[in-house]
Structure 1
Amino acid sequence: MEPIYRAYQEKDLQALIALMKQLGYTHSKHALLTNVKAVHKAGGEVFVAELNDIVVGCISAIIDIRLAEGTQGEIVSLVVDKDHRGYGLGKGLVGTAEHWLSQYVDSIRIRANSIRNAAHQFYQELGYLETKQQVVLVKNKHE
């Protein structure tokens, strides 16, 4: 059966929790639903890949605005279930996000953790070029 790529629906929440865990992030239903709502409120979208009525992948497409760089699309949180990798689902999800973003922006950025070498190669095979490396610094409110 061919995969279906579609916008997130609330019935997908449990599947997204499991997918985010495979990406290295643990979320409660409430926390992940809050994140999905925040993506939507900021003008972004979450997409899923579905096979035989089962969600096996997801991606988020956001609009990012910066003083120096202007407005760009950004693809974030791409993950395909470990048992469904290697079948083109990630490529399909990226294509879905790119198509949606192309309505709003002229360029799309992807950031991948420096240790995810396979992800770097995957994105480069899709035509993305490495333009810079950077360090991410975080200051939490309660520390």
Structure 2
Amino acid sequence: MDISQLESITENTAKEILSLSKQLGYENDFGPLLRRLQEIIPLKDHAIFVAKVNGKIVGWLHCLICLRVESPLFVEVTGLVVDENVRGQEIGKKLIETSKVWSQNHGVSIIRIRCNVVRTESHKFYQALGFSCNKEQKVFEISL
């Protein structure tokens, strides 16, 4: 398995990321997803890592540095997906480890992950990696 940071995006890579995202129920349209990837990849305070086996993407992680008025600087893992056919092979763990190194290289010593309350298996996964739950919250949204 090889983990690398995306430095550019092809339509094929975007399609693989889209396919993996759908496994977790994230319904995206290809065009907008491709445009978001094109916008995110050049940002220095964001990173998208992909895990590949035999040239095929089997996992991805998106993280970003968060600068907030009320909190010390932290990195947030905003997305992590591992192909359901290869889960349990430490791919997610290696993606998290890669994000830890990236965070430290950017001078950040805190990583946060938000996780839907219904994803109890994910909660166990993160706790097994040393994360602790320090807050539960509701997310409010309005369409404009």
TM-score by length of 1: 0.91
Give 2:78's aligned amino acid.
Answer: V
42 and 6 in structure 1: CA distance in 2 versus 1, 3 angstrom threshold: closer
Matches within 5 A, 1:1-143: 3-8=1-6, 9-11=8-10, 12-40=13-41, 41=43, 43-104=45-106, 105-141=108-144
- How many Å apart are 1:111 and its aligned residue? 0.7
> In structure 2, how many angstroms separate the alpha carbons of the residues matched to 1:42 and 1:66?
17
Checking the alignment, whether the CA contact within 8 Å between 1:98 and 1:108 is kept in structure 2 is yes
- How many Å apart are 1:34 and its aligned residue? 2.3
- How many Å apart are 1:110 and its aligned residue? 0.7
- Which 5+ residue runs of structure 2 have no aligned equivalent? none
- Which 5+ residue runs of structure 1 have no aligned equivalent? none
Percentage of pairs with the same residue: 32
Give 1:10's aligned amino acid.
Answer: I
Q: How many residues align?
A: 139
TM-score by length of 2: 0.90
Give 2:55's aligned amino acid.
Answer: D
> In structure 2, how many angstroms separate the alpha carbons of the residues matched to 1:95 and 1:42?
19
Q: CA RMSD in A?
A: 1.4
